[in-house]
Structure formats: C-alpha cells, structure tokens
Chain A
Amino acid sequence: MKAFIKKEIYHIFRDYRSMLILFGMPVVQVLIFGFAITNEIKDAKVTILDQSGDVLSNRFVSKLTASGYFKADRALDHPSQIEPAFREGRVKQVIVIPSGFGADLGLHKQVTIQILGDASDPNTANMLKNYTMAVLNAFQMQEMGMQALPVDVRVEPIMYYNPELKGVYMFVPGTMAIILMLVSAMMTSISIAREKELGTMEVLLVSPLRPWQIIVGKVIPYVALSFVNALLILSLGWFVFGVPIIGHKGFLMLEVLLFIIMSLSLGIFISTVSPTQQVAMLLSMFALMLPTILLSGFIFPIENMPVFLQWISNLMPSKWFIIIVRDVMLKGSGIAYLWKETLIIFGMTIFFIGLSIANFKLRLE
C-alpha cells in the first residue's frame, strides 16, 4: 500500500499539466470569481435627459453621480436621442426629468421621473433601477425633509452575515465545491481509467493486492491534495478577500473531508463505468462539472429555478456542501443546524461506494 501511494504521488507530480490544473485552477478561479464576476455595480454609464434644467434637477443629477454607482455620460437634448444611445451601447440607463421638475417639487406637487433601462441585460437593468430609486429617495428626503409625508415610514435594512453584500462570500464556498469535485472526482476517475487503459489494472488485480487496497491506495494521495486545495481556497478567501470563518474550523474541516470522500467515491464510480481516460474525462465534465456549476445554487439561485430543476438540484451533492460551508463560515452554524445536509452527503457517499463495488464485482465475474 505504501508503495502504491508513493507511485501515485509520482504520477501526479510528473504530470505538469495536471499539476497546473490541480494547484493553478483553485487560485485562478477564486481570483476570477472574487474580482471579476461581481454583482456589485460601480460607475455604470447613465445619461440624463433633463427637460427642466433647474437648480433642483441639477442637484439631483450631481447626487446621482456622487453616489459612485453611476457615471454620467454626455447629456441628451431630445427624447429621440434615447434609443440611439442604448443602441450604441453608450449607456445602460437613461433618466428623463420632466420640465418644471424643480418648480413642481417646490409646490409639493407630484412629480414623475422616468427611468429607462437597457434590459438586454436584465439583472443589471434591474439593479440600476433600484440604485436610482434609492438615490431618489435619499434626495427627496434631503430636499423635502419631514414635510413630504405626514407619517414617515423609514426602512432601515440590515443585511445579516454579509453586511456589505460581497459576492465573494458566496464564491468561496462555491469555488471550493467545484475544485474539490474536480480534483477528487475527475482526477481519480481519470487515473483509474488510465490504469485500465495501460493494462496495469489487470496486473494489479492478479497481484495479491485486494481490490479495496488498490482503490484506497489510489485515492489517498488525492484526499491529501484536495485537502490542501481546500485550505488554499479558504486562505485565499481570508487573506485576499477578507471572507471570515465564524464557525468551528475543525467542524468545517471535517465537512470538507466528508465532501472529498464523497467526490472520490463518485470518481471511483465513474471509473468503473468508463473504459478509457477520455470517457472518464467527458463523464466527469458533463455529469459533474456543469451540473455543479449550474444547479448547485453557486451562480444561479435555486429559488429562481423551475420546480423541476429545483428537484434535480437536490441530487447535486455540491448544493448541500455549499449550504454547509456557507453556514459554517458566515453564520457560524454547527452540526445542530447542519446535520441534515451532512447526512445527505454521507448517504450519497455510501450510495456511490456501494454502486462501485457492485459494478466492480459484476465486471470480474
């Protein structure tokens, strides 16, 4: 067994490509997700069609640009210019201020402002609208003071667990799920399939090693590697993006280990059904990676999916893992809250191991 683990480690370290994938990818992914893919909006281009042009409207516009969310593009003079501005892609939003804006406001008359969004990117359009409304509300409050409404209901939202609504808080658990899945499931399934392809598997089976020893020997190096990767991602999150780990770290590590073992058993199962490395790779890619990315709630919220897809998402081990990691890291939850998710992953592990054993026996007979 010792010989086996040693050999496997040689395999991994001699193959520069897989080394690069193993250690380069987690870093790159975390950085990309952390820096580039962010839902926060900064300096979105807007333009204003100010038909009023008075003191108040000017003040509103400067408040808007001072918020940091918007950057004013060259102002428009006529409604006919609105559509070309969108078409050219110059701006994401146009705000139309009606004539007599300041005068009407001064008379406490109702004033309507039009917000036109480029909804070819619906999420952004929606967010920009919300930001504009927020600025508008603040502006109203500031200009009109308490006199605006007889009864003043103020909303003071407090965002628990992630007060600044940082996207990276969500990406760290998500990336961890993807990377662990990839390293554990894909790498093991490929490396076992390679032994089959090379014919070394036959030789191993003829040797006094028992099948479980072969599998465990192959898998242990990957457990270690995956674990190192998990630590790498967590520390990147911590040091670069300031993602906290509020919960018990030991508990988090145990959960990570459980997920790694789950992915490995999935990888072993894949390798029992794939005759070559290529098949193993494709199966891992399409059966694991894509669903993990799309259906785990990592990028697209599960609540927004059609009911049918929500059902399928329950079959994704990563969905449960992401819930666990997020809750432990951000909410500080312990096993008392997460026993259900833990049990599900544990059950999946048993299921895949059982399936692999059944499959393996079938082939030998």
Chain B
Amino acid sequence: MQANQTKIIIVENLVKKFGSFIANDNLTFDVAKGEIFGFLGANGAGKTTAMKILCGLSHPSSGRVTVAGYDIYSQTEKIKRSIGYMSQKFSLYEDLTVYENFRFYGGIYGLSRSMILDQTQRLLSRLGMSDYKDRVIKTLPLGWKQKLAFSVAIIHKPAIVFLDEPTGGVDPVTRRQFWDLIYENAHEGLTVFITTHYMDEAEYCNRLSIMVDGRIKALDTPSALKERFSCNSMQEVFIRLARN
C-alpha cells in the first residue's frame, strides 16, 4: 500500500479487557480508503470484540482508535453514520419486501424518501434485480439475500462497510459473485472490512491481518504473507500461525 493513501481506520495500542481476560492485546493497524481489509482469526481469537469496538458498540479499555476520521470515544454517533454493517445472518426482514427493507434501513439512517428511492433503484439495477422490488424476502434464494443484505448495508453511502462472515452457508459460485460485488464497490472508494473463515476468500483481500489469542500475529498482503511463511496457500499460512 502506498503510504500517502488516506488512512480511514487507525488503531493504536488497542486493549480490551473483560475482567482479567484480555480479548484484544495491544492491536495496532490501519486501513486505507478503498482497501479490502481481511480480518482473520480462529473462533475466540478476538475478532468480534475488535469489530464491535470499531463499530462503536463497545468501548476499548485503552488505546487510540479513529474510524472515518472520528474518535471512537467521543464521536461514536458520527462514526455510526459513516459505517455500514452486514451480519453473518444477512439480517433482512423476511416478511417484508425487498423495497420495504431498503426503505426501513434507509429510514433509520435518516435518508429522505427520494434518496431512498434513488438508492434502491441504483443498487437493485446493479444486482439486476429491479424486477424483484416487491418480492417478499423469504421467497428469494440465499445468494440473492446475501447480495441484498450487502446493498442494504451501503444504502446510506457509508465510507466503510463491515462484513461479519458475510459468505457463510453460500455456494462457491455465489460467493464468487459476491466478491465481484465487493470489488466493484471498493473500486468506487468504499472501504471494506471483512472477517471470514474461508481462506480462498482471504486471497481476494488487499491486505490481511491474522489474529491469534487476542494479538495480531501477521499483517500484510496475501502474497507477502505466503512468501514470508513460504507457503503455497493462505490456508497453510493460517494453520501455521494458529497452531503456534
């Protein structure tokens, strides 16, 4: 990454303790604007905790964190307005139609009616789903729901979108299509912060951090990581790091 690129997430010496348990031990990293940043780690490594802090759901015990230029301690509200979030459950309302979901999420971000309409049209036509505007979500296949959930998460044009294991339970072809969607948006300047358990997906990221026991064990581009640990795939890199 070029050094002169704008850093949109800056984390310095982030520590989060729950009693005597240290979930995040001195994390330091940054994410550049328009970057696809992979946040990897085994279950319980502290990914979720760190992500919650970045989303403003939880405060760190110590350390300095800025997201989209706002301070995590004092400007949580502003941060929340500039980020989008997609959970692993896709979090759409199953009994509402596609448009109603867009309208609801647009509404809670305070978008005007005309803006919601514009955005819905733009996002749906990009997915090639304009004809399905009035379909109830539960009648749609999983892969569609996934793309819709992503679109809903960026309806308010956030600077950063956090994707929490967004490809769980989806077949490889659909996953591939989903990554195309991510690339398209990143290309337009959206920063993507993603956690995943699929190592083939990790290869798609611009940069990766791998967490083990609350610490960042490695942080670099996928090719640099493979080179450093002299492995052929990210899978091997991950297993080697997680075992130690």
A6 surroundings in chain B (CB, below 8 A): 104, 107
A 202-213 binary contact with B (CB < 8 Å = 1; else 0): 111111110000
B91 is contacted by which of A3, A200, A365 (Cβ under 8 Å)? Answer: A200
Q: Given A7-B93, A10-B96: A206 and B103 within 8 A (CB)?
A: no
Residues 73 to 130 of chain B near chain A (Cβ within 8 Å): 77, 80-81, 83, 85-96, 100, 103-110
Q: Any chain B CB within 8 A of the CB of A84?
A: no
Is A11 an interface residue when CB atoms closer than 8 A count as contact? yes
Select from chain B the residue with minimum beta-carbon distance to A201. Answer: B91
- Quote the shortest CB–CB distance from B111 to chain A (angstroms): 9
* Contacting residues of chain A (186-209) with chain B, CB-CB under 8 angstroms: 198-200, 202-209
CA distance A193 to B219 in the complex (A): 38
Least CB distance, B137 to chain A, in whole angstroms: 10
Distance to closest chain A CB from B107 (angstroms): 3
Contact: B107 with A208, CB < 8 Å?
no
Contacts of A15 on B, CB cut-off 8 Å? 95
Q: Shortest Cβ distance from A131 into chain B, in angstroms?
A: 55
Q: Is B206 an interface residue (CB 8 A)?
A: no
- Given the complex of chains A and B, what is the CA–CA distance between A365 and B57 in angstroms? 8
Determine if B96 and A208 form an interchain contact, defined as CB atoms under 8 angstroms apart: no
Contact residue among A7, A11, A14, A206 (Cβ-Cβ distance under 8 Å from B85): A206
Residues on A with beta carbons closer than 8 Å to the beta carbon of B81: 208
Q: Once the chains are docked, how many angstroms separate the CA of A209 from the CA of B56?
A: 12
Alpha-carbon separation in the docked complex, A203 to B101 (Å): 12
B208 within 8 A of A: no
Interface residues on B, range: 20 to 34
Contact between B57 and A11, CB atoms less than 8 A apart: no
Q: How far is the CA of A14 from the CA of B93 in the complex (A)?
A: 12
Asked if A241 is an interface residue, CB under 8 A from chain B, the answer is no
Q: Does B55 contact A (CB under 8 A)?
A: yes
Q: Is A364 an interface residue (CB 8 A)?
A: yes
Known: A2-B107, A208-B77, A208-B80. A198 touches B58 (CB 8 A): no
Instruction: Indicate if A4 sits at the interface (CB-CB under 8 A).
Output: yes
CA distance A14 to B97 in the complex (A): 11
Cα(A4)–Cα(B103), bound, Å: 10
Contacting residue for A3 out of B77, B94, B107, B162, CB 8 A? B107
- Residues in B with CB closer than 8 Å to A199 are 87-91
- Inter-subunit contact A204/B108 (CB<8 Å): yes
Q: Is the CB of A4 within 8 A of B83?
A: no
Chain A residues within an 8 Å CB radius of B57: 205-206, 364
Q: Scoring A residues 1 to 39 as 1 if CB is less than 8 Å from chain B, else 0, what string do you get?
A: 011101100110011000000000000000000000000
A11 adjacent to B58 (CB under 8 Å): no
Residue of B nearest to A202 (CB): B87
**B81, B96, B108, B153 pick with most chain A CB within 10 angstroms:** B108
Given A3-B107, A7-B100, A207-B108, A198-B83 contact (CB < 8 Å): no
Are A364 and B58 closer than 8 Å at their CB atoms? yes
For B107, give the chain A residue with the smallest CB separation.
A3
Q: How many Å lie between the Cα of A202 and that of B108 in the bound state?
A: 14
A364: chain B residues at CB < 8 Å are 57-58
Q: Give the distance to chain B from A14, nearest Cβ to Cβ, in Å.
A: 5
User: Shortest CB–CB separation between residue B92 and chain A, in angstroms?
Assistant: 8
Interface readout for A352-365 with B: 1 if CB under 8 Å, 0 if not?
A: 00000000000011
Residue of B nearest to A213 (CB): B108
A4 to B104, CA, bound (A): 7
Q: Enumerate chain B residues within 8 angstroms of A207, measured Cβ to Cβ.
A: 80, 85, 105, 108-109
Assuming the contacts A203-B87, A207-B108, asked whether A3 and B56 have C-beta atoms less than 8 A apart, the reply is: no
**Contact B104–A7 (Cβ < 8 Å):** yes
With contact pairs A2-B107, A3-B103, A14-B95 given, residues A206 and B83 touching in the complex (Cβ less than 8 Å): yes
Cα distance A203–B162 in the bound complex, in angstroms: 10
Residue in chain A with minimal CB distance to B103: A3
Query: With a CB–CB cut-off of 8 A, which chain A residues contact B91?
Result: 198-200, 202-203
Q: Are A209 and B108 in contact (CB under 8 A)?
A: yes
> What's the Cα separation between A37 and B90 when bound, in Å?
49
**Which residues on B sit within 8 Å (CB–CB) of A203?**
85-87, 91, 105, 153
The CA of A209 and the CA of B123, in the complex, are separated in Å by 23
Q: CA of A14 to CA of B138 in the docked complex: distance in angstroms?
A: 12
| Cross-chain contact A206 with B95 (CB below 8 angstroms) | no
CA distance A20 to B219 in the complex (A): 56
Closest to A203 in B: B91
Across-interface contacts of A204 in B (CB, < 8 A): 108
B108 adjacent to A3 (CB under 8 Å): yes
Q: Are A11 and B93 in contact (CB under 8 A)?
A: yes
Cβ B93 vs Cβ A200 within 8 A: yes
- CB 8 Å contact bits of B53-67 with A (1 = contact, 0 = none): 001111000000000
Find chain A residues with CB under 8 A from B110 CB: 208
Q: How far is the CA of A162 from the CA of B218 in the complex (A)?
A: 80
Which 8 A-B residue pairings sit nearest by Cβ, starting from the closest? A3-B107, A199-B89, A206-B85, A199-B87, A199-B91, A200-B91, A208-B80, A14-B95
22 A-B residue pairings within 8 Å (CB atoms): A3-B103, A4-B108, A7-B93, A7-B104, A10-B96, A11-B96, A14-B95, A198-B91, A198-B94, A199-B88, A202-B85, A202-B87, A202-B164, A203-B87, A203-B91, A204-B108, A206-B57, A207-B80, A208-B80, A208-B81, A208-B109, A209-B108
